[in-house]
Amino acid sequence: MNHLDEISVEELQATLDNVDGKKPTQRLLAAIAYKNGVSQTELAEWYDVQRRTIYSWLKRLDTDESLEQAVSDDKRTGRKRKLSETQQEIFEETVHKPPSEVGIDAPAWTPALAQQYLADAFDVEYSIPSCRRLLKEAGLSYQKPRRSAAEADEDDQEKFYDDLKKSGGRWTPP
């Protein structure tokens, strides 16, 4: 099947001057190369994609819409958030305080604690990786427990090891 029979190389080059972004540019360059005799198989090797992808890039140009629109992807909105903006703000304010202020017996926030808090407070379920993302979005950073100095007194060392056992890792405000 021959593609782009009704589109000239000059039209493709003119469109190339008017588009922004990596994908639209790649698609137009592939179309120009195809019009100049490069096979779809060769193009697939050049761009490190499947031959089917090159076929799709060329086929999308065989349309009545403008070439700029044909090579550009539609906007993708993504999945709707489980927390409303208000709930997100409440969560962020909460994790900037110690967990004990919301009745959780722990020295610091962990993704598992955040997961439990979100389920209890807002009746939403998040995975542990999503809770890590939410903690990061809230401005917290992951802090690994560090060994205490050998000179520290025994009470401080015991407290450190107790805290370490409880939290494993910590999410703390910077």
Task: Give me the helices (H) in the chain, please.
Answer: 9-18, 22-35, 40-47, 51-61, 67-71, 85-95, 111-122, 128-137, 154-167
Q: At what angle do helices 128-137 and 85-95 cross, to 10 degrees?
A: 80
Q: How far apart are the first and last CA of the chain?
A: 59
- Its pTM surpasses 0.85: no
Q: Which two tokens stand for residue 168?
A: 């494993």
Q: Is the pLDDT of residue 41 over 90?
A: yes
pLDDT in tens, 89-141: 999 999 999 998 988 888 889 999 999 999 999 999 999 999 999 999 999 88
Residues 144, 154: Cα–Cα separation, whole Å: 21
pLDDT at res. 127:
94
